[in-house]
Structure 1
């Protein structure tokens, strides 16, 4: 791609709280070359007259599951990986069509999917993948049925797509090193009980201090970080104190724990839309009864967690954690958060905040010189109505990723 000049629009740059009038943006190849409040001269550039529409960075979902074909993880673990990959292709391409140009996969995706996207075999978002999540025996990524024999080795069971059981410091070191060897951009651990797993109550604490610190060290040795599934104050505070950078979900967080996250510079990624979707559609889509019961507690606390995190000044990322067909509701996370947060706060979480959390500050999530040319043109003003980011991308006539038009309608 050569040069493209965007003019006659309003700009949300990913960092501010207002739309900027009279700004022009020039891309060259895969990057943004210039952003100016004065007319840009670029002979030979293709000019897009936005007609007053909004130009903004591509969206980032920091808690996605590309391989999540079904709400029942045990069922998915028994599927052939080739079948799951075909589901993943559809889910990734649909996410890009909604304006999500980057995704952080929280367990299941691997280098194969990332390479398929780079090769153009999948028309999907840029993928930051964790590989398999690390879990202790009986942890949140241990999807064996309760009646399974304890001597049956998980490492040889099914497709073992989403998690790997590792107990003890030597085992977690090896498991982390294995995912990092295969190119994982961060390591995911399970640090508390969860909704989707059969054997662990929400309040269950998972992994010892020594195990978590060992995993954090291994990630740091590769100049990356650990993200941790954690719901309760105790689970969250342990992770933050042991060096975890990104806390996922955190529905049951309390005021002191939110203050600790802020003081330690940890990020928190709420995923409220998944609980709403599981409540509405989970039973008919096959969510197991044990998971439906556990869902009630965490769903009820969702909006309160946003209030506590905002009051404490915690940096909140944007994630969705949706499974299977429920990923169609990905953009509803925007409007759910708007019940507590301002539209600018919500948009920053899905752009510049996520980019900083994912070690891509200045590269993604902003419209600025030197950043990658991941851009959306939106009909309307997302700072006045976050709903313009919904409806499966119907109000996003232009999607650019790496300087190439993924979608271009009417301009």
Structure 2
């Protein structure tokens, strides 16, 4: 039986509300019926037996973090065998693993995550039922990919890929993409994901190529936006695809490492949010596609076609240049005032460990040009806007859902305040303690954590 939500009084903590660039010391945070009832200085707090009091002197309370770009895929593989690990195992096995993945994200202080996979469509329902702890999963379902595009797995037949691929839905032409969007909305998708460009995962999937036409992208956005509140997140890694996506009216640009002044001005006018996935992009040619010291890239799996690319020389200088261009693009967006959210693009283990990679993305935002407040603001308030949940989460305000972290370090002073797991004392979702000192805790508040 699901436990009734109890009323809580978090007492004596410093509060970072996600709105102000300061900590409010010695506060009482009162939680009732899943929501923040009020936040008051301790001198204004009056004891009420309805509330279970939790003394938190020496702790800090902040909004739960939000990861705007994850794949709860359930796959397990190294770089060399990623397609086999992601597609060849039974779908049910991968779905079961995805529960662990979502809970690992929660343990690292991320109380919401926007997911691109089939699994997220069902995880969100299970966690909402309250039978087990988990983050809020803002589900996109699989992303729309052209045949042979970034979400396709070319080593397998089209029929096998369509039935076993966990994060890509093949659709070509305006009418197919229209049907694809409607199919995803039928399954309960909160938002729609589309790959407008390649991504350098496979030999015919180059990040410099455009994968969808202006007509197709406009159809995707038009169909998604017919359902009020449904946003479109768009993978776009080159200038042309970013421009096409912005003209079509997408809501967030994922990666976007080819920005220029014209594009950032358009993003500002339209209110488009950038999800830069810096940890992944900046380290792409270190962690995903290793380059040789000099000479051609060492092949980590056989290429099937595009012979014209097989003799390209991509050495460490090439990798460093690409990384720097991603940093330059991000810094231009920061300096220009583009809205920026946090997204890790966690894809599978062991390469990108769930939860750990989300926390690494937060540090990357700070490392490459954001202040601590800007990085926290990106991971809370702006990310709540990106996932369409700004009315409910992202800041600590009366009436918002009580998704929050209790930390042992000041998040405005210590970059490791929640990156270091030892600093995470509690994680609350909908006013319930879901994680305490690294352990999942659910149900009876007197029950031992498991």
Tell me the TM-score normalised to structure 2 length.
Answer: 0.83
Task: Give 1:111 deviation, angstroms.
Answer: 2.4
Q: Indicate how the Cα distance of structure 1 residues 42 and 155 shifts in structure 2: closer, same or farther if over 3 A, else same.
A: farther
Q: Indicate how the Cα distance of structure 1 residues 111 and 267 shifts in structure 2: closer, same or farther if over 3 A, else same.
A: same
Q: In the alignment, is the contact (CA less than 8 A) between 1:13 and 1:368 conserved in 2? A: yes
Q: Indicate how the Cα distance of structure 1 residues 136 and 287 shifts in structure 2: closer, same or farther if over 3 A, else same.
A: same
Between structure 1 and structure 2, the one with the greater Rg is 2
Task: Give 1:396 deviation, angstroms.
Answer: 0.7
Partner of 1:209: 214
Partner of 1:125: 135
Partner of 1:303: 327
Partner of 2:232: 226
Q: How does 1:192-341 map to 2 (within 5 A)?
A: 192-223=197-228, 224-275=230-281, 279-282=285-288, 296=319, 298-323=322-347, 324-325=349-350, 326-327=352-353, 328-339=356-367, 340-341=369-370
Listed one character per residue, the Cα deviations across residues 175-202 of structure 1 (whole Å, up to 9, x for unaligned) are 1100010000000000111033441211
Count, aligned residues: 404
Listed one character per residue, the Cα deviations across residues 237-272 of structure 1 (whole Å, up to 9, x for unaligned) are 211111101100112222221121112110110111
Tell me the TM-score normalised to structure 1 length.
Answer: 0.91
Q: Indicate how the Cα distance of structure 1 residues 140 and 385 shifts in structure 2: closer, same or farther if over 3 A, else same.
A: same
How far apart, in 2, do the equivalents of 1:370 and 1:211 lie?
40
Q: Indicate how the Cα distance of structure 1 residues 21 and 218 shifts in structure 2: closer, same or farther if over 3 A, else same.
A: same
Q: In the alignment, is the contact (CA less than 8 A) between 1:258 and 1:312 conserved in 2? A: yes
Listed one character per residue, the Cα deviations across residues 103-130 of structure 1 (whole Å, up to 9, x for unaligned) are 0013443422222323456532110011
- State the secondary structure of the residue aligned to 1:331: helix
Q: How does 1:139-178 map to 2 (within 5 A)?
A: 139-145=149-155, 153-154=158-159, 157-178=162-183
Partner of 1:83: 93
Listed one character per residue, the Cα deviations across residues 195-251 of structure 1 (whole Å, up to 9, x for unaligned) are 334412111112111111111111111111211000122211211111101100112
Q: In the alignment, is the contact (CA less than 8 A) between 1:110 and 1:129 conserved in 2? A: yes
Listed one character per residue, the Cα deviations across residues 344-398 of structure 1 (whole Å, up to 9, x for unaligned) are 010011111111122211310111111111111111111111212113x221111
How far apart, in 1, do the equivalents of 2:118 and 2:414 lie?
34
Q: Indicate how the Cα distance of structure 1 residues 163 and 289 shifts in structure 2: closer, same or farther if over 3 A, else same.
A: same
Q: Which moved more, 1:117-126 or 1:339-348?
A: 117-126
Q: In the alignment, is the contact (CA less than 8 A) between 2:120 and 2:138 conserved in 1? A: no
Listed one character per residue, the Cα deviations across residues 27-57 of structure 1 (whole Å, up to 9, x for unaligned) are 0131111122452325111122211311001
1:26 aligns with 2:56: no
- State the secondary structure of the residue aligned to 2:346: coil
Q: In the alignment, is the contact (CA less than 8 A) between 1:247 and 1:269 conserved in 2? A: yes
Q: How does 1:7-46 map to 2 (within 5 A)?
A: 7-37=11-41, 39-44=44-49, 45-46=51-52
How far apart, in 2, do the equivalents of 1:217 and 1:125 lie?
29
Equivalent in 346, 349, 359 of residue 378 of structure 2: 349
Q: Indicate how the Cα distance of structure 1 residues 196 and 109 shifts in structure 2: closer, same or farther if over 3 A, else same.
A: farther
Q: Any stretches of 5+ residues in structure 1 without a counterpart?
A: none
- State the secondary structure of the residue aligned to 1:314: coil
1:190 aligns with 2:195: yes
